[in-house]
Amino acid sequence: MHRMRFALAWIAVGWIACGAGRHAELPTPEPADLVLRGGAVYTMDAARSWAQALAVDAGRIAAVGSDQAIAAWIGPETRVVELSGAMLLPGFHDAHAHPAWGGLDLMGCSLLGRTDLDAVLQALRACNEAAPGTSWLYASELYLAALPGGSGRKELLDAIAPDRPIFVYGADGHSAWVNSKALEIAGVGHDTPDPPASVIERDAATGEPSGMLREAAMELVTQHMPKKTMAERIAGLRLAVRLANQLGITSFIDASVGEAEMASYKALEERGGLSVRTLLSMEWGTHFQSPLSEQEALLSRRTRYEGPRIRTNSIKIFVDGVLEGETAALIDPYLGERRHRGPLIFSPEQLNAWVIRFDAEDLQVHMHAIGDLAVRVGLDAFEAARAANGARDNRHHISHLQLIHPDDVPRFAKLGVAANFQPLWAFPDRYITEINLPALGPERVRRMYPIGSMHRSGALLVAGSDWNVSSMNPLLAIEAAVTRQDPDGVIEGVLNADERVDLDTILAAYTIGGAQLMHQEAVTGSIETGKAADLVVLDKNLFEVPAREIGDVRVLQTWIDGERVYPDGAAH
């Protein structure tokens, strides 16, 4: 019945739009469930059309047009939302986030916003005093640039709680700062070898662990920490989903999950709380998760966690680490005494074999690659898959892309690999100026985050936050992509001005581009007839505010499948 109403009513609206008097020859549309009118509707369709209003029926967009045209859809029981000039966009897509992890961190000791060492230590002391005892003190979102040289000493944490193990998780997700008690419990000492592609930082004089762990070295400690319960996981994920909706996000990719995370998504959906569309990328082959045999078993049963808003046909592979700990893999060496290039987590041969296999199985491969060597090796693997399997529509992507060799930029479009940037990182923050610049030199810093070059090359451009590494707010990231400046206005300067993109380009990355990456462009990503009513309402038209004020624009409402989930959404 609704399908017939869509077809006939859309024709009727078309006649109304074409000329007065002619619409009488066709049926009048039946009243819609919902009408939003009086706004600046930027549809993100192929023509980048503007409209004033839209009608929604059974959760789908029934018509888009002028206020006058959409008036035909209003009946006695139609819910009418007056936009009063507000901007209406398709719901944002975050193509790389960690909601299952980040939600748990929201429930604990957060160091978010502490950007100097004194502030970090003060927050840790407050957390210790708020929940005293001898159990683990876990803190998250440590801004590594707050530590001298990006590295912390265990003695500073010992002074806070010498008899209590402390684990402070770096905001980059690849570093941890621990105290002596934590190292003692884990049995990490002078003779403990560095795990593969990882670093236990040590005192230069004694060789003893200094308190900083990079990459898989963190697992030496975390395996001794209490595991989260399913109830805690569901509660944390609920918080993360609520935050996403508050920021206008209706779809996201959880960039690294295991079975516990998959189960929490399924449980939340069954409770009616999953008010986002999700693609879960199962972590593969890395040392952060379970043994490969367990990963194989999970891969075979992953579909049991699928649902109306959950898809699981994605594999996440870490190719390298991060620049902050010199664990990112580079074509040319880091500067300084060591003159090393940083490790690849897997050999190119192993990576090729996995990508060829997953591509043949119609799984989307989602890679983490920070250094230019890691990006090149990742592209080589996708090229090997194409040679082995032919061109397939799996829409593989590489995330982060802090450094890309110029020779590799055109390969993304050629191979059909999406470029997944985190635009909020594309300004000269202290990570870049105090940690990256001394380690890499100005030439490489000048080509960081080449979003503009990638767009000009014709590659599919998508965007994500990597939350809770950084803010989940798409509007802050959109401002940074357009200006290459600090959206908060605290840090001066511009990072690589020629890599700016225009507003329409980055909006596409956050809407229809993300939908294409998630294989859901037929369902969402633009405001077009027949698509789901996944929508975000902003208090100002982004095209009418100065670029340096985009991040100040507020989300007024968020809708998914025609249901308002922010504010006062029933899903929460």
Q: Rg of the Cα trace of the chain?
A: 25
DSSP label of 60: E
CA distance linking residue 414 with residue 328, whole number of Å: 25
- With helix as H, strand as E and coil as C, how does 266-295 read? HHHHHCCCCCCEEEEEEECCCCCCCCHHHH
Same domain, yes or no: 453 and 340: yes
Q: Is beta strand 199-202 parallel, antiparallel or unpaired with respect to 209-214?
A: antiparallel
Q: How many domains in the chain?
A: 2
Q: Do residues 216 and 331 share a domain?
A: no
Residue 215 backbone zone (phi > 0: left; psi -120 to 50: alpha; other: beta): left
Q: 453-484 burial string, b = 16+ CB within 10 Å, else e?
A: bbbebebbbbbbbbbbbbbbbbbbbbbbbbbb
Give percent above pLDDT 70 in the chain.
94
pLDDT at residue number 10: 36
Using pLDDT thresholds of 50, 70 and 90, give the confidence band for residue 288: low
DSSP class of residue 532 equals B
- Peptide bond connecting 567 to the previous residue in cis, omega within 30 degrees of 0: yes
Q: Check if the beta carbon of residue 247 is closer than 8 Å to that of residue 239.
A: no
Average pLDDT, the chain: 92
- Tell me which of 112 and 19 has the higher pLDDT: 112
Residue 186 burial class via C-beta count within 10 angstroms: exposed 0-12, middle 13-18, buried 19 and up: buried
pLDDT at position 108: 84
What is the C-alpha separation between 149 and 29, in angstroms, rounded?
Answer: 65
For residue 337, is it within any domain?
Answer: yes
Domain boundary among 191, 222, 253: 222
Same domain, 338 and 480: yes
Same domain, 325 and 450: yes
Amino acid at 552: D
Print the domain residue range for 191.
101-222
Same domain assignment for residues 326 and 211: no
Q: Which of 501, 535, 564 is the last residue of a domain?
A: 501
On whether the CB atoms of residues 558 and 552 are closer than 8 A, the answer is: no
Is there a domain that residue 367 lies in? yes
pLDDT digits (tens, 9 = 90+) for 226-265: 999 999 999 999 999 999 999 999 999 999 999 999 999 9
Query: Who has greater pLDDT, 65 or 290?
Result: 65
Domain of 393: which CATH number? 3.20.20.140
Contact 106, 240 (CB under 8 A): yes
Give the pLDDT band (50/70/90) at residue 289: low
Same domain, 332 and 201: no
Asked if the model's pLDDT at residue 287 lies above 70, the reply is no
Instruction: Give the span between the Cα atoms of 414 and 460, in whole angstroms.
Output: 11
In this predicted model, what pLDDT tens digit does every residue of 349-393 receive, in sequence order?
Answer: 999 999 999 999 999 999 999 999 999 999 999 999 999 999 999
Residue 117: which CATH number? 3.10.310.70
Report the run of H or E that residue 220 belongs to, with start and end: helix 219-222
Q: Is residue 390 part of a domain?
A: yes
65 found inside a domain? no
Asked if residue 534 belongs to a domain, the reply is no
Phi, psi of 51 (to 5 degrees): -145, 180
Q: What one-letter code names the amino acid at 571?
A: A
Report DSSP state, residue 503.
Answer: H
Which of the listed residues 222, 244, 273 is the one where a domain comes to its end? 222
pTM over 0.85: yes
Q: What is the C-alpha to C-alpha distance for residues 117 and 420, in angstroms, rounded to an integer?
A: 32
The per-residue pLDDT for range 86-144, each reduced to its tens digit, is: 999 999 999 999 999 999 988 889 888 898 999 999 999 999 999 888 899 999 888 88
User: Do residues 488 and 353 share a domain?
Assistant: yes
**pLDDT tens digits for range 139-177:** 988 888 889 988 899 999 999 999 999 999 888 878 899
The answer to whether 321 and 327 have CB atoms below 8 angstroms apart is yes
Q: Which helix (H) or strand (E) holds 536?
A: strand 535-538
- Pair 215, 323 in one domain: no
Residue 357 lies in a domain: yes
Quick one: 217 and 337 in the same domain? no
Q: Is residue 301 situated within a structural domain?
A: no
Both 341 and 204 in a single domain? no
pLDDT value of residue 23: 31
Query: 3-state SS string over 159-214?
Result: CCCCCCCEEEEECCCCEEEECHHHHHHHCCCCCCCCCCCCEEEECCCCCCEEEEEE
In this predicted structure, the answer to whether residue 558 has a pLDDT above a threshold of 90 is: yes
Tokens encoding 456: 């000009």
Reply yes or no on whether the pLDDT at 20 is more than 80: no
Question: Does 20 map to a domain?
Answer: no
